[in-house]
Chains A and B, each alone.
Chain A
Amino acid sequence: MDFSKYRDMFLNEAAEHLQQMVETLVAVEKQPTDRDGIAALFRQAHSIKGMAATMGYEATARLAHNLEDSLDICRQQDSIDTAQIDRLLAGIDLLEGLLEDISAERPERDIDAFISGTLDVSILELDRPEIIPHADKTAPVAEEMLIELRLDEKAAAAGPRLLVLIRQLANFGAVLKTSPTEAQILQGGAPRKLRVWLQTDQSREQLQQQLRKYSELSDVLFPDEKQVSTRQKKISQIAPTVRVSTDLLDHFINLTGELITNRYSLQTAAGEQNWQNLHEGLGQLTRLVKNLQHQVLQVRMMPLSSVTGRLPRAVRDLCRSSGKEVQLKIDGSEIELDRAILEELTDPLLHMLRNAVDHGIEQRGTVQIKAWRERDQVLIQVADDGCGIDPEKIRQRALERDLLSPAQAETIRNYDLLQLICSPGFSTAGEISATSGRGVGMDVVKTAVERLGGVLLIDSTLGEGAKITMKLPLSVAIIRVLMLDCAGMLLAMPIPRVLQTIEIPPEEVQTSGKQLVISHQGELLPLLSLRKILKRPKGPKLKLLPLVITEVLGRKVGLVVDRLVGQREVFIQSFPAPFDRLRGCSGGTILGDGRLMFVFDLQSLLEKRRG
């Protein structure tokens, strides 16, 4: 009855097979006589065909069968050539489209052009246009319908009759939900009215006719309950699934058991007012909760390879379209990150890769993606051995775009200059190419990284290549923050943003023009007042000024606060919509004593004040 469960399983498994096929194809292209690789491809196409056929997805099965046939030819030849790989990749793209159709409950798109070979696969680009699905006449769209059945007053044995009716309706489509549920009916709660949410390709009239046979029914209605049905649909469509190892589940059960025991010993200790036992119990609770937090995070963790897996294919396509020879090396793809972070990384990584191939590497070279952990942060670096970023070009462009005043342009250090490529609308590419250089590149990357509470660092030596590094927290929900006080508010800043905290006597503050600055480790840092940025009144004079050294728009600044409170690991909740759109502050945490603390983002606060 629960067809959607099997559909989701099919979609997940098929998507995994397709992803593996892409990876194998790109690898096999370098070794066209790799028998094992070709055999693996054949097996995967075969599995997809089998699964799709079992599920009744005709076009998907037919296409997979077609790919299997081509792979069988390769298997007999013991080799595969570039044209065959092109065609197979195009076929996999089309299969991915079909999976999308199935997931969106649309009819499967047309595949005849591909199978008959009239579809020119060589023109397929990296940014594939969506193929518009054709409405297939033979398979009418299954729609969700709400049916209300009313039993005749005189009908006996209402419960069994309702159950029979549900079975009958299942013949016309998929029963999504009933009210009351079958279990409720079985327990004896049988009313005279039954609501059934049915996914069916039959019309109301057809159903009405079918149901007229049942004399115990006094009425068949089709109430319009748009709201309910769309909400219902949402639930059945979203909610992606994760695979959890049974070991981990056992861990959870054991932990739950321990927590229950702990609860009783705490209760007893509290009843007896036995402080010693209460204290020990709390210590145990701390350990258990920490363990639970660790395990739950584990469920959310996924290896970086789940996003880097697509990159070799992207590089291959880029090389084919640009005529360059680029080797991609990926190190540390086994490093695990929170799935929410990984999802946000897909686009930025692709962007950085395109930049490296498009602007960095001139004819042939290597792009290296490296990931490693440093304490509770993950660093991901995209490095190329191309021509590097020319600081002079950036200086010029920054002057043209009014990002720097002429005086600033002269004094700015090269490192700070490099960070300017992340400014919105900045692009040094002479011409606009199809894949990047539209000036929406690096600012997108930077925004994505900062939204996750991370930092983006750019480094380049002219003639030796460029290195772009993302410093990210392991998990988005639980992060380490610096707590600080400002105008009676308790605020938090993610630790990756904090370069240093210091306290300085007010006499060390100098002026440079209109700007207050301090000299710190041989650098002049402008001072910003958090009170002023938040439009709060001036605070009392302090003997020592607490400062947070941080980076804004690629520049180091000193942020003056009222008091530095300390560091802590906190669970961040984002505000409910629409308050999550407020700029400068998108979430907070409830502290142990019930106080609320909000996480603020200095950069967007400043941008907001300017804009």
Chain B
Amino acid sequence: MNQLLPFKLGEETYALELTEIQEVVENRSVYPLPSAPDMVAGAIGFHGRIIPVVDLSILLGFPTGPRSERLIVLTDDNGPVALAVDRLLPVLNVDLLQGILTQSNSEADCIRAVLNWQEEMISLLDLAQLQKTVEQLCSKTGG
């Protein structure tokens, strides 16, 4: 069994595996950076460290709705970075081997696989792909 944390981006449901997540933080002030691409919402102080916050809706091209007060801080080997999402949903227990509908290989969408959960499509976020996209955006406005 795998534990997933699903969340909303626009009308779509995405999810991350709990093992990829370090902590979900609430009511943390996000401080905007003086100069950064739009997808960087700013940074937070997290256990004495400065962690950048990526706005997933902007990064993946969704209309930006009211942002959740909660941020998903990924584990250090996936960042360290915090993701701002629209809304968090309750944790699911899923057998990924059973539930996977399609493996995705598309470069652009940052989706690892899509699974069908009680008639709802949940896209599993591809963190390696996401990291690459963020890296490109950072170097473009930098470099």
A interface list, Cβ under 8 A from B: 486, 489-491, 534, 573, 575-579, 581-585, 587-590, 594-596, 598, 600, 605, 608
Q: At the interface, yes or no: B134 with Cβ under 8 Å from chain A?
A: yes
Q: Are B135 and A578 in contact (CB under 8 A)?
A: yes
Q: Which of A583, A588, A598 contacts B142 (CB 8 A)?
A: A583
Q: Looking at the complex, which one of A577, A589, A598, A608 makes contact with B33 (CB distance below 8 Å)?
A: A598
Q: Are A578 and B134 in touch, CB under 8 angstroms?
A: yes
CB pair A596 B34 closer than 8 Å:
no
Q: Which chain A residues border B66 with CB–CB below 8 Å?
A: none
Note all chain A residues with C-beta closer than 8 A to B48: 590
In the complex with contacts A575-B43, A582-B141, A596-B50 CB distance below 8 A: yes
Q: Does any Cβ of A come within 8 Å of B32's Cβ?
A: yes
A581 cross-chain contacts in B, Cβ below 8 A: 138-139, 142-143
Q: How far is the CA of A593 from the CA of B48 in the complex (A)?
A: 12
A595 touches B31 (CB 8 A): yes
Q: Decide: A489 and B79 in contact? CB cutoff 8 A.
A: no
Q: How many A-B residue pairs have CB under 8 A?
A: 76
Contact A578 B139 (CB under 8 A): yes
B66 CB to nearest chain A CB (Å): 20
Question: Which residues 29-80 of B have a CB within 8 angstroms of A?
Answer: 29, 31-37, 40, 43-45, 48-52, 79-80
With beta carbons under 8 angstroms apart, the residue of B34, B51, B139 that contacts A598 is: B34
Whether the Cβ atoms of B143 and A583 lie closer than 8 Å is yes
Q: Given the complex of chains A and B, what is the CA–CA distance between A496 and B36 in angstroms? A: 24
Q: Write 8 A-B pairs (CB below 8 A) sorted by A numbering.
A: A576-B52, A577-B135, A578-B138, A579-B81, A583-B143, A589-B50, A590-B45, A598-B33
Determine how close the nearest CB of chain A comes to the CB of B22; give it in whole angstroms. Answer: 13
For A605, list chain B residues within 8 Å (CB). 34-35
In the complex, the answer to whether B45 meets A596 with C-beta atoms within 8 Å is: yes
B134 to chain A, nearest CB (A): 6
A575 touches B32 (CB 8 A): no
Q: B28: nearest residue on chain A (CB-CB)?
A: A594
A318 to B115, CA, bound (A): 67
- Given A491-B34, A585-B34: A596 and B43 within 8 A (CB)? yes
Known: A489-B31, A573-B49. 16 other contacts (CB 8 A): A489-B34, A490-B31, A576-B51, A576-B81, A577-B135, A579-B40, A581-B142, A583-B143, A585-B34, A585-B36, A587-B50, A588-B43, A595-B29, A596-B44, A598-B33, A608-B141
CB pair B34–A584 under 8 Å, yes or no, is: yes
Assembly CA distance A573 to B35 (angstroms): 17
Assembly CA distance A583 to B138 (angstroms): 9
Bound-state CA distance A220–B121 (Å) is 44
Q: Are A576 and B80 in contact (CB under 8 A)?
A: yes
Question: Which of B34, B48, B138, B142 gathers most chain A CB within 10 Å?
Answer: B34
Assign chain B's interface to a size class: 20 to 34
Residue of A nearest to B140 (CB): A581
With contacts A575-B52, A581-B139, A582-B142 taken as known, whether A596 is within 8 angstroms of B31 at the C-beta atoms is yes
Query: Do residues B45 and A579 form an inter-chain contact, with CB atoms below 8 A?
Result: no
Point out the residues of chain A lying under 8 angstroms from B32, CB to CB: 489
Find chain B residues with CB under 8 A from A589 CB: 50
Given known contacts A596-B31, A598-B34, A582 and B45 CB-to-CB distance under 8 angstroms:
no
Indicate whether A582 sits within 8 Å of B33 (C-beta atoms), given known contacts A575-B43, A588-B43, A590-B45: yes
**Which of A582, A590, A605 is packed against the most chain B CB atoms within 10 Å?**
A582
Contacts of A608 in B (CB 8 A): 35, 141
Check if B50 sits within 8 Å of A585, measured CB to CB: no
Q: How far is the CA of A35 from the CA of B139 in the complex (A)?
A: 57
Bound complex: CA A605 to CA B141 (Å): 11
Q: Shortest distance in angstroms between A537's beta carbon and chain B's nearest beta carbon?
A: 13
Complex CA–CA separation, A523 to B17 (angstroms): 61
- Residues of chain B lying within 8 A (CB to CB) of residue A486: 34
Would you call B45 and A594 a contact (CB within 8 A)? yes
Q: Which residues of B contact A582 (CB under 8 A)?
A: 33, 35-37, 40, 138, 141-142
In the complex, the answer to whether A590 meets B34 with C-beta atoms within 8 Å is no
Contact B34 A534 (CB under 8 A): yes
CA gap between A594 and B81 in the complex, in Å? 18
Chain B contacts for A585, CB-based, 8 A: 33-36
Q: Which residue of A lies closest to B31 (CB)?
A: A596
Inter-chain CA distance A491–B51, complex, in Å, is: 17
Closest 5 CB pairs of A and B: A584-B35, A596-B31, A578-B135, A581-B142, A578-B138
Nearest-Cβ distance from residue B55 to partner chain A, whole angstroms: 14
Q: Quick one: which of A486, A534, A578 has the most chain B CB within 10 A?
A: A578
C-alpha gap A605/B34 in the complex (Å): 9
Distance of A587 Cα from B52 Cα, bound (Å) = 10
Most buried by B among A575, A583, A605: A575
Q: What's the Cα separation between A490 and B142 when bound, in Å?
A: 22
Question: CB-defined interface of B79-107 with A at 8 Å, one 1/0 digit per residue?
Answer: 11100000000000000000000000000
* A22 to B29 CA separation, bound complex (whole angstroms): 56
Assess whether A600 is in contact with B139, with CB atoms less than 8 Å apart. Answer: no
**Which residues of B are found within 8 Å of A587, using beta-carbon distances?**
50
Tell me the bound Cα distance from A573 to B44 in angstroms: 13
